[in-house]
Structure 1
């Protein structure tokens, strides 16, 4: 991959910009909750007990399938789409997932996860990071450790920025095992929203659009901070804390 040369960034301006992107991402879920007429914490209780118990395993499978499929599609030189095109694709998969109730909602998880992971990899590339490198692959998965668009806790949204992910050998198993429990919560909320009678397809489309936009924004925060860290010599952890202060202000 050709090394991209980026112009110098104004540190404070870039932190303020990334704080604004984070704020936009954090406010994305309320339209979905309004559509399904539920509170975020109540969505998971709408799932049958057996599904809640299997959700983490389903999330691991979706991540395993999604990361490899996304990598193959980009390796095959299929052009990266725009943010809007990616959201339109997941809007369609979400509608299909919600149309048939629980069965189709669960079957749709790996497909949507693949599309979002592909977008995250493209955003890493956009910031000058090679998604083939182990540390960048870990950073792509770390984006999925963010709390999710239906969680209004700013701290859990931002905790993914400093989450330690140990790369084990040449596989992603260790990373996926750490990320899956966190991602299972928003994915469970998504599946529950798609099960709402009558409006399941509409809810599936809306929630997929919101989820995709959210993780695209958080990927830009993740890789924006990494690029700023490379330029300034500061740690991502330190820059994330400073960005959080700007977000609070």
Structure 2
């Protein structure tokens, strides 16, 4: 069933339609909480209820610091040819396959280290884990033909942390049963990305504190912190430590890698066919037989 291609009449080629179907399966899949529950062997909601009250403030602060570190690395790489801040993997060609496995192993290692110390390790572990995940997202973007030297692409890479789930607006909640939640979430961030890109393009790249950029980072952080909370909860089972930390971190990065693959596949197809054509084809794909 994995390689089946929905029969949709339209201008997309068979190969591109198959790629779009894979992207939709990646984007409209089971939420992260279900994956983490499988890794931890317990419902994430129950584990989250056990977290101390102070944990949520620690998670929010660590999440923001982690995203700020990624932003600084992204802005430092803008306009740089070849390898920049580790985000352009070895200057490899745009068509080269993304190195998902390498990044998974690296994040599993940080998870093992953090799992041994629990919540106390979060302020140190999360920025490292998130930066590794961001590099993986950039690698995936490059493999789909994105130019990592541009402001817009770097912000699109950061936006993946806000596309993987998290807090939902009333409009998103009203559409949560529909199989195109990706476009709802993407639309919620699109204006903020556009405004931040415009501001950074017209001002010095040293102006990291523009109002538009802060609004975008706040929106991404609000969504990402929900998933970080789920990740922390899944690693909170006593006496398992490093092993569970590695397993949970692997599920964590896999979730965002799949989101990135779906997001940048769709952007590649939109560059070829236009946004309206791709979204119409996306909505027409029926995933129900695959579930």
**2:25, 2:287 within 8 Å by CA — same for their partners in 1?**
no
2: CA distance between counterparts of 1:78 and 1:114?
19
What aligned pairs does 1:70-219 form with structure 2 within 5 A after superposition?
A: 71=77, 72-74=85-87, 77=90, 82-148=99-165, 158=182, 159-165=184-190, 166=192, 167-168=195-196, 169-170=199-200, 171=208, 172-219=213-260
Say which is worse superposed, 11-20 or 114-123, in terms of deviation: 11-20
Which of 8, 33, 46 does residue 42 from structure 1 map onto?
Answer: 46
Q: Cα 1:56–1:28, aligned 2, differ >3 Å: closer, same or farther?
A: closer
Equivalent residues, number: 237
Say which is worse superposed, 210-219 or 170-179, in terms of deviation: 170-179
Which of 228, 234, 243 does residue 282 from structure 2 map onto?
Answer: 243
2: CA distance between counterparts of 1:52 and 1:216?
25
Q: What is the RMSD of the two structures over their aligned residues, measured on CA atoms? A: 3.0
2: CA distance between counterparts of 1:82 and 1:76?
9
2: CA distance between counterparts of 1:244 and 1:211?
27
Q: For the pair shown, which has the larger CA radius of gyration, 1 or 2?
A: 2
Q: Cα 1:45–1:204, aligned 2, differ >3 Å: closer, same or farther?
A: same
Look up the match of 2:205: none
For normalisation by structure 1, the TM-score amounts to 0.81
Unaligned 5+ runs, structure 1: 1-7
For normalisation by structure 2, the TM-score amounts to 0.70
Displacement after TM superposition at 1:195 (Å): 2.2
Q: Cα 1:43–1:240, aligned 2, differ >3 Å: closer, same or farther?
A: farther
**1:142, 1:160 within 8 Å by CA — same for their partners in 2?**
no
Look up the match of 2:4: none
2: CA distance between counterparts of 1:78 and 1:42?
45
Residue 14 in 1 paired to residue 19 in 2? yes
Displacement after TM superposition at 1:218 (Å): 0.9
